[in-house]
Amino acid sequence: MPISFDSERKIFKLDTATSSYIIEIYEQNYLIHLYYGAKIPDTNLKNHKFLMNWFGSVSPQNINIEDRRFSPDVCTFEYPCEGTGDFRSSAFSIRNADGNNATDLRYVSHKIYPGKPRIDGLPSLHVNTDSDADTLEILTEDAVTGIRAILYYTVFNNYGAMTRFVKVINASDRPADIERVFSSCVDFNTNEFDMITLYGDWLKERTFERAPLGRKKQGVSSKRGSSSHAQNPFGAIVGRNTTEENGDAYGFNLVYSGNFEFSAEVDAHGASRVLMGINPDAFGWHLEPGEEFSSPETVMVYSSDGLGGMSRIFHRLYTNHLIRGKWAHIKRPLLINNWEATGMDFTGDKLVTFAERAKEIGIDMLVMDDGWFGKRDDDTSSLGDWQVNEEKLGGPLKDFIARINALGIKFGIWYEPEMVSHDSNLYREHPDWCIHVPGREKSIARQQYVLDWSRKEVRDYIYEMMKKVIGENKIDYVKWDYNRCITEAGSPALPPERQKEVFHRFILGTYEIMDRLTVDFPDLLLENCSSGGGRFDPGTLYFSPQIWCSDNTDPIDRIDIQFGTSLCYPASVMGAHVSASTRAGFETKGNVALWGTFGYELDPNTFTPDDIELIKEQVSEYHKYYDLIRSGDLYRLISPWENDRRVAWMFVSEDKEEALLTSVVMRKPHDNAFFLRLRGLDPEKYYVDDTSGEVYSGALLMNAGISLTNYSNNDGDSFKIYFHTL
């Protein structure tokens, strides 16, 4: 069984395809974490909870436990609480009606069952049938306050993955306030780890960073109201010697698009505590008697096959159990977006010429970006006024779309639903509908404010305008943008004791509208964007099967971004287009964009005959390699964090019948010799190099490697090689 309970030893054992996770009910019903790592058959771990032979005089003792090795401050807790003897970072804290935050959750009961529960109001991984996963619920309670917390663990039976979340219930007759509610905590009895995180900025999202765990607290977080460009809600804890293909790798990813924290604290004894969940800064949740609160879900992946093994588990898991709807497993349209070509300076006639050229080269869809509504000719006005500018389009939107469709081209449109311009009819009519603190100056960014989506009337107003435009017109695709962070996080609609709920309520509101949109329009392809990749997270992927990876479309810069993104997220979700950037030619732009969803950000009226022939070839390759890239396994052969001059990656089909190798020169190497050992092939099979016609065994390609010395080594050069079996 994937989940078992030894009633004699009082031990839970959760087995994924690659790992075991073990919890003990200790004396006085303490929940103790014993192990997380490579799969083991037994549970003889009774001494793993103790970090020392006896606790010091400064460590508190439970008066009812005689074992001198146990202290709340020096044991490996499953879900540590605040103020009752554990001085490390806590996972959970409640401010009770008496004003203190002493919290002590103990085991009460448990349930084990097939399948996986949903989380009210929040995205989460899903199962296709109950046989896909098994779930453990552990009910805990603070005997003094009556606060209960149900700890949920779901094991995905075909993957090295499990998920965790927490439901808090105020079972008392007095109100209480949640101060901290992390979705997961893992105590390791060592600090022989490195932490890997993805930092960034606008145009530089998800950049790889690796650092050893020191005897301190370290990690990443966001309190911007979104998961953010600056940090991503992904982190990994890996062995000091872990490489791309060897060693322990523990990956953590939060299914959430708001403020988060991923942190590790190493104590004086060299033990490590890893936490992931909602950032407790500027967070709180008021619970009246009988009320509940559910945390977002943490996805936890373990692999003994290094970073590559960890990534491939995430990719398959998300492809099959996170991304939903019509577009989860069918081919998506190849699109061209007008933004980089025209900005907001376009007319309906101009975009029709884009569609005419797009049809000639095999593109499926035209996306009309920002500027089609209100008086929107620049970024200073009209957000919130979602009425079509018929003067700009030369008539009703329906007639304009009919002209596009008549060419055999689908049509998509841009929205930024969560925002309102200072210069807009909506703001003039409802200045209190934006997030703000009454009496305090409102910060402005990009000449816009953030709408208060904690308020139902605000959400309904915006959605009804969207629904009217989308419902009355043949729109196949929506690009959902989000272009500023949240400041002055207050809502006049909430009482004082609930003001710390604004950030989380805002995200819940966003999820509600995305859900309504995908339910009302199930055939719609939704792509999320946040000034590029500022909200690139699993919470967003639950609603949209692809996210614009970055506003930086330079192919050399994109290499860092896409390599970092691939640590956790599959190729099928990475919005990547060929643009007018100048540091590389069309071939390299196409080779890099082919890794992602693929498309174009260009004015097709500027294409030369040579450009057209090359683009037609790229379109053909997009269709040829579509299934291989989106359902194959990714191998990062040379990463930019290992080599600042040349990178290489490959996709291998699940049946190992075909593979696509791509390499890019970022800066001219010091020498031209280039021998590359491939990965992921079948050593017993023979593969044809589609470029040269040479035949190699999989064993040769992976062990001796392939000579690529004759390929060009100039800045910005690239090549790809397709292999297939005989």
Which single residue is written with the structure tokens 């650092």? 211
For 487, the 3-state DSSP assignment is coil
The residues, ordered by sequence, that sit 6+ positions from 420 with a Cβ below 8 Å of its Cβ are 383, 384, 426, 427, 433, 434, 448, 449, 450, 451
Would you call 481 a catalytic residue per the annotation?
yes
pLDDT of residue 671: 81
> pLDDT, tens digit, for every residue of 273-309?
999 999 999 999 999 999 999 999 999 999 999 999 9
Residues 6+ apart with CB under 8 A from 26: 10, 32, 49, 70
pLDDT tens by residue, 450-473: 999 999 999 999 999 999 999 999
Query: pLDDT grade, residue 8 (50/70/90)?
Result: very high
Q: What angle do CA 40, 45, 48 make, to 5 degrees?
A: 120
Q: What is the mean pLDDT of residues 17-21?
A: 98
CB 585 within 8 A of CB 608: no
pLDDT at 224 over 70: yes
Helix (H) or strand (E) run with residue 88 in it = none
Is residue 533 within 8 Å of 229, Cβ to Cβ?
yes
Q: Cα 698 to chain center, whole Å? A: 34
Segments of 358-404 assigned E as strands: 365-368
- HSE of 26 in the Cβ direction (CA atoms, 13 Å)? 27
Radius of gyration of the chain (CA): 27
Percent of the chain at pLDDT > 90 equals 95
In angstroms, rounded to a whole number, what is the distance separating the alpha carbons of residues 85 and 71?
8
CB-hemisphere CA count at 13 Å for 18?
Answer: 21
Q: Cα dist. 63→60, 108, 191 in Å? A: 9, 20, 30
Neighbour tally for 652: CB within 10 Å = 24
CA 412 – CA 473 distance, rounded (Å): 11
551 labelled catalytic: yes
The answer to whether 540 and 547 are in contact (CB under 8 A) is: yes
Query: Rounded distance, CA 644 to CA 669, Å?
Result: 9
Contact 573, 323 (CB under 8 A): yes
Global pTM reads 0.98
Quick check: 336 and 604 in contact, CB under 8 A?
A: yes
Q: What is the rounded CA–CA span in Å between residue 451 and residue 435?
A: 6
For residue 572, give the DSSP letter. G
CA separation, residue 681 to residues 191, 257, 676 (Å): 35, 36, 14
Residue 605: which H helix or E strand, with range? none
Query: Do 701 and 685 form a contact (C-beta atoms < 8 A)?
Result: no
Cα 699 to Cα 141, 540, 691: the distances in Å are 56, 40, 20
Which pLDDT belongs to residue 254?
99
pLDDT of residue 57: 67
Residues 493, 107: Cα–Cα separation, whole Å: 38
* Residues ≥6 apart with Cβ < 8 Å to 362: 334, 616, 619, 620
Please name which of 406, 356, 371, 405 lies closest in space to residue 604, comparing C-alpha atoms: 356
Q: Whole-number mean pLDDT of the chain? A: 97
Structure tokens at 50: 């103790």
At residue 181 the predicted structure's pLDDT band, cuts being 50, 70 and 90, is very high
Cα within 13 Å of Cα(709), Cβ side: 6
Q: How far apart are CA 341 and CA 579, in angstroms?
A: 9
pLDDT digits (tens, 9 = 90+) for 116-158: 999 999 999 999 999 999 999 999 999 999 999 999 999 999 9
φ, ψ at 360 (rounded to 5°): -65, -30
The model's confidence at residue 56, banded by pLDDT at 50, 70 and 90, is: low
Q: What angle do CA 502, 536, 590 make, to 5 degrees?
A: 155
φ/ψ of 244, rounded to 5, equals -60, -35
What CA–CA distance (Å, rounded) separates 55 from 74?
7
CA 563, chain centre distance (Å) = 14
Q: What is the pLDDT of residues 84-95, one digit of tens each?
A: 999 999 999 999
Sign of the alpha-carbon torsion through 405, 409, 410, 412 = negative
114: exposed, middle or buried (Cβ count in 10 Å: 0-12, 13-18, 19+): middle
427: left (phi over 0), alpha (psi -120 to 50) or beta: alpha
The catalytic position among 267, 551, 560, 633 is 551
Give the strands of the sheet with 11-15, arranged side by side: 3-6, 11-15, 19-25, 31-38
Closest CA to 420 of 391, 459, 392, 389: 459
Paired tokens of 339: 């933004």
Assign 55 a pLDDT band (cuts: 50, 70, 90). Answer: low
Tens of pLDDT, residue by residue over 513-570, are: 999 999 999 999 999 999 999 999 999 999 999 999 999 999 999 999 999 999 999 9
Q: Which two tokens stand for residue 1?
A: 């069984």
Classify strands 477-480 and 410-415 as parallel, antiparallel or unpaired: parallel
| CA–CA distances in Å: residue 225 to residues 270, 329, 450 | 34, 31, 10
In the chain, the domains with their CATH numbers are: 3-321 (2.70.98.60), 326-548 (3.20.20.70), 636-725 (2.60.40.1180)
* DSSP state letter for 215: S
- Per DSSP, the residues of 134-156 read EEEEEEEE-TTT-EEEEEEEEEE
| Helix (H/G/I), strand (E/B), else coil: 320 | helix
Options 481, 560, 633, 717, the catalytic residue: 481
- Using 50, 70 and 90 to split pLDDT, how confident is the model at 430? very high
Number of neighbours of residue 490 by Cβ within 10 angstroms: 19
Q: Residues 435, 504: contact at Cβ < 8 Å?
A: no
| pLDDT mean over 179-191 | 97
pLDDT confidence band for 434 (50 / 70 / 90): very high
